[in-house]
Structure 1
């Protein structure tokens, strides 16, 4: 599916939006046209993406149409993502919530609380991620606006009504069944650490890797979870590359570094919360506890406590669980691509449903940004497979234009990695040894440039040129 992202915008849009269940052929065609135009220039505003006035007003009408369900807009893409899961032993269902902040849009109706006194929409998504091949697509997404706090509400009263923490287990329950022979494994950060999430995974037949973020009693009810794992068996140590993180309202920033961590593992029985509304039974899980041994001065040590359904008999098994959890970072990149690459928070609409429809559309566009970026990073057999798919799916004229820019003598030998890296150089990637692989920003700046060159070549050929 990753190579599918590297085809021209019109074909890509038809494949990912063409079967949407909007119930109206005109709306379907309009959605496909919109997706293609936005994919060509994802970071631009709507007026720049749609140069014709009729196309721009058509886009506004679709986003403002009460008959257009945000879920239905993603339906074709989600079905395609599910089909991409087939033939894989394990697919990670990575969940996370992000805040779409529209605090500057004072007149928008229906927004809820976000951040430190801001206004916006919560977007809770589940992405399908293959441990080897990376991001496959969006499996599920929902949008929610926080209600105002209820003064004087008791704990029992809060438990009786719907709560934001239910986004996680309800999203597990909402996923389609995994294809035959494929096992879904839910992966969450600390936000998903709730007994109800464990229960939902077990009920759905999913595995799980959930980072613990709260204190709870284990086994006989006398010992704290965190105290228990610190006394478990040491399996070994390993080097862990820690990514840089910008400071946010909820988290301190940190610099990227290489950390030496100690890994412990064992089995523990978690006690359920005491709830009069829905009693739960204790659950026995495997724990993988990761802690940095000698953090730099002034930096908090890396400390992960992972609760998992997987059996861990030694360091190799623990490494696999840790690797699955680290794939969770893909959804953070997806949030960033949607916000920075597609500009979803810059939208100038005055209704929360209009903004939600745009978020639905840009969520799929953000998948494409990341998938094309990842083509430049594949190695070995994965790279060879990408090379074959490039020549099967990419129009010959695109390969010829990029080969000319890369000063390649034979377009038929163009590799997927060279193809993407050449495009990125047109977008400002310098390709120096210390630069690392290109990111989605430079790739998409270059992509639009190449698209204009291809359009020029096709125009010249249509009027009898020999380009």
Structure 2
């Protein structure tokens, strides 16, 4: 790593963590110094990143302070990312869940189930702000770590539907936490199949943001007063407006192949789930 790269890392650390409020200026300086070292070797262990055991212990002490919390450390970066997003005409807010596997840490506390429920660790829900025009990542605009709470033993499906809090609520919390953009900017929440939930759609509409979600369910749609159809069938009936080539890499025993993506679009009115008491009852036009 050359001198210019080191200087850039120090500037990034100062810009990102220089304004964290940790109730002691010395803590802020320590955080800036630690962040620049962490960025030098992001895949290394903490002792290797800190270069010396003295520095490692100092960071452990810092992170053990009651005022040094995840929200306190991340707040300045969230604010900076939001300002960049509000200065862009169109921004994609790409949200997904990452699991942090700590199964090898047998004595660690405060973790829960991950993966096939035999693993131990926690999850992090992250929203990245991306400028599609330049394919530039503006930063992390929201992030929430959480631990999976196992379902009560013997819980039935109708009981799960009535549960006050669900793990999937984290998707809506991020949307509500990010809130509404300034009038000159358009924000589009992007999610995989995990975001195909009716409250997520309503949360986006309530915050005056758009959404793009990979469909997981063939939802009921209102075709006419007398007839109800289904969303995937309706989408497949739309005429193709454009075609794009797509290279599909080899995976899971399947060979790499070339194919085409057909682009089509149109309006439909989604009907809310009938059996979920927590869901909104109003239809949703998309």
TM-score when normalising by structure 2: 0.88
- Indicate which of 218, 223, 229 corresponds to 1:223: 229
Q: Distance in 2 between matches of 1:208 and 1:68?
A: 34
Which residue of structure 1 aligns with residue 17 of structure 2? Answer: 17
Q: Please show how residues 81-120 of structure 1 align to structure 2 within 5 Å.
A: 81-116=81-116, 117-120=118-121
Which residue of structure 2 aligns with residue 122 of structure 1? Answer: 123
Decide whether aligned partners of structure 1 residues 163 and 6 sit closer, same or farther in structure 2, where only a CA change above 3 A counts: farther
Residues 176-200 of structure 1 show CA distances to partners (whole Å, capped at 9, x for unaligned) of 4424511211111111110111000
- Indicate which of 196, 199, 202 corresponds to 1:199: 202
- Which ranges in structure 1 are unaligned for 5 or more consecutive residues? 247-251, 286-467
Matched residues, number: 275
Residues 391-426 of structure 1 show CA distances to partners (whole Å, capped at 9, x for unaligned) of xxxxxxxxxxxxxxxxxxxxxxxxxxxxxxxxxxxx
Give the alignment's Cα RMSD to 1 decimal: 2.2
Decide whether aligned partners of structure 1 residues 255 and 26 sit closer, same or farther in structure 2, where only a CA change above 3 A counts: farther
Q: Distance in 1 between matches of 2:253 and 2:129?
A: 27
Q: Shift in Å at residue 6 of structure 1?
A: 8.5
Q: Shift in Å at residue 253 of structure 1?
A: 6.9
The structure with the largest strand share of the pair is: 2
Q: Is 2:75 the partner of 1:75?
A: yes
Structure 1 outlier segments of 4+, above 4 Å: 252-257
Residues 315-366 of structure 1 show CA distances to partners (whole Å, capped at 9, x for unaligned) of xxxxxxxxxxxxxxxxxxxxxxxxxxxxxxxxxxxxxxxxxxxxxxxxxxxx
- Indicate which of 184, 188, 205 corresponds to 2:191: 188
Q: Please show how residues 223-262 of structure 1 align to structure 2 within 5 Å.
A: 223-242=229-248, 244=249, 252=252, 257-262=257-262
Q: Distance in 2 between matches of 1:204 and 1:281?
A: 17
Residues 57-80 of structure 1 show CA distances to partners (whole Å, capped at 9, x for unaligned) of 111112333332112111121121
Q: Please show how residues 343-362 of structure 1 align to structure 2 within 5 Å.
A: none
Checking the alignment, whether the CA contact within 8 Å between 2:273 and 2:279 is kept in structure 1 is: no
Secondary structure class of the residue paired with 1:171: helix
The structure with the largest helix share of the pair is: 1
Structure number with bigger Rg: 1
Checking the alignment, whether the CA contact within 8 Å between 1:234 and 1:262 is kept in structure 2 is: yes
Secondary structure class of the residue paired with 2:21: coil
- Which ranges in structure 2 are unaligned for 5 or more consecutive residues? none
Secondary structure class of the residue paired with 2:145: strand
